[in-house]
Amino acid sequence: MYFDDARREVNVKIVYWGAGLSGRCTNLRYIHGKTRPQSRSKIVTLATMWERAMFFNFTPQTLPTVAGFRVRVHLFAPTGSSTFERTQKLILRGVDGVVYVVDSQSHRYDANLTSRSALETQLARMGLKLETVAFAVQYNKQDVRDVFRPKQLEASLNPWGRPSFSAVATRGVGVFETLRAVVKPISERLVDKYGT
């Protein structure tokens, strides 16, 4: 996070992490579409032949000010392929919170495990642990056939017992609940440290 004195904003960074096609970008597009235009930036997609990243920022109206600064939230969704570690590492730099988006389809189980392992590895390289960042798990695609239910996935994909949510990102089910679970502890830490 960083304070922008000129704009009177404190900027926090939340990264949506998950295996390819898990729904990271779908979450961002849904949030962007439901956020008031005057409170958000344009959504930016960086795409190459091999990878894609998406991001935008917005000012939630429901968050308290921090030492007289508005909180501005920057949302990022890096490519889900573990072969693009450089991009993922760059996007994770300075992260305050992570939403781990799980593709609940049973045939994607191993991809979810690989993605979570890559997240832990990248954070460790920056001297961070999942315990030190705001973190929530979203069990996405609960509307399709042949899925694991959240209870079936909790032990292996959320062994820390962090907040978790059932979701259908294409319809917005669980999207804002997951985001709030990550933004709230960040906001509370800021207010505790700097006041309102």
Token duo for residue 149: 């239910």
| Region 109-136 average pLDDT | 93
DSSP state of 149: -
Token duo for residue 179: 């985001």
Specify the pLDDT at position 82.
57
The Cα–Cα gap between 70 and 196 comes to 10
Say what the pTM is. 0.94
Q: Which residues contact 177 (CB under 8 A, 6 or more apart)?
A: 165
Would you call 14 helix, strand, or coil by DSSP? Answer: strand
Residues 15-54: pLDDT tens digits?
A: 999 999 999 999 999 999 999 999 999 999 987 666 678 9
Within the chain, what is the greatest distance between any pair of CA atoms? 51
Residue 23 maps to which CATH number?
Answer: 3.40.50.300
The Cα–Cα gap between 148 and 103 comes to 9
| Region 167-187 average pLDDT | 97
**Count of domains forming the chain:** 1
Specify the pLDDT at position 49.
60
DSSP state of 105: B
Strand partners, 105: 147
CA distances, 108 to each of 22, 115, 126, 142, 183 (Å): 9, 11, 28, 13, 27
Residues 54-111: pLDDT tens digits?
A: 999 999 988 999 999 999 999 999 876 655 677 788 889 999 999 999 999 999 999 9
Which structural domain, as residue segments, surrounds residue 179? 2-194
Specify the pLDDT at position 90.
84
* Structural contact between residues 39 and 58, judged by C-beta atoms closer than 8 angstroms: yes
The Cα–Cα gap between 139 and 141 comes to 7
Strands 164-166 and 134-140: parallel
